[in-house]
Amino acid sequence: MTLAKAFEAEPQLPEIYEADEEVKALIDMARKLEGVTRNAGKHAGGVVIAPTKITDFAPLYCDEEGKHPVTQFDKSDVEYAGLVKFDFLGLRTLTIINWALEMINKRRAKNGEPPLDIAAIPLDDKKSFDMLQRSETTAVFQLESRGMKDLIKRLQPDCFEDMIALVALFRPGPLQSGMVDNFIDRKHGREEISYPDVQWQHESLKPVLEPTYGIILYQEQVMQIAQVLSGYTLGGADMLRRAMGKKKPEEMAKQRSVFAEGAEKNGINAELAMKIFDLVEKFAGYGLTNRTLRPMLWCHIKRYG
């Protein structure tokens, strides 16, 4: 909201501005300050990558410590300039895993045992999943809270895909929307698995949604659905994902049209395509990226370390 918009939206504001000298002076001062850069900040882990010298694309300045160059563009302008921004955030858990492995391998060396090879950890290790299903996850990263332990007992994960889903499901959106209950009921056969809905589904989505029992859980699934049903390119599907996350009405109207046209070209019923689009849009707000190996590493280390 700007002062100009406020004057248009509130009829009494211009009247008060003309009638009250103090209000007039205050607003005049605010107009001089409006739009002025207050301060410059630096992303905690953002790294911008350029194909040539970064000064070919963006102006730079030194951070407060004078050690690192920082772009003077914000994240949106960086992308508009054609640069790529990656977020590399530090995670102490990785250091702790490394310490644990060092301690384990010292003990193994004393006992004449080979070192534990973290790269050789099987993703379907039965003993690790047995421990997980008993909710013995204290000190296991992302799986040790009381609420997560309750969710593990309900879900009874028995494969790597279920473990990834645990992290994605244990968030306010999925918990409050009923998605968690649907996921659990579908896994245990108490609810029919459909792709993605009993009334509105398409078999071409089965390979995309089968690992999550027909539930749209990950951002990657949003993109894959757009590619399969409407022929989106990978770049176009990523733009759809972003649009659904930002929920801008004008952009969503544009994407809805593109989705419908693509589905029609693929011979998919228009009503079905729009219903699936609505479902995708609904679940996209809860979507997380399909990732994380860390809980599996911790379970294996805890079980065999």
The amino acid occupying position 131 is M
Residue of 267, 287, 289 lying closest to 279 (CA atoms) = 287
The amino acid occupying position 110 is K
Neighbour-count burial of 178, counting CB atoms closer than 10 A to its CB (0-12 exposed, 13-18 middle, 19+ buried): exposed
pLDDT in tens, 53-63: 999 999 998 88
Domains and CATH numbers, the chain: 3-33 (1.10.10.1600), 46-87 (no CATH), 94-171+292-304 (1.10.150), 203-284 (no CATH)
pLDDT, position 173: 85
pLDDT in tens, 283-297: 877 777 766 656 777
pLDDT, position 122: 84
pLDDT in tens, 168-192: 999 888 888 899 999 999 999 999 9
Would the pLDDT of 276 be above 70?
A: yes
pLDDT in tens, 30-76: 999 998 888 878 888 899 999 999 999 999 988 877 778 999 998 88
Q: Which long-range contacts (CB under 8 A, 24 or more apart) does 134-142 make?
A: 136/302, 137/299, 139/298, 139/302, 140/295, 140/298, 140/299, 140/302, 141/93, 141/294, 141/295, 141/298, 142/166, 142/167, 142/292, 142/294, 142/295
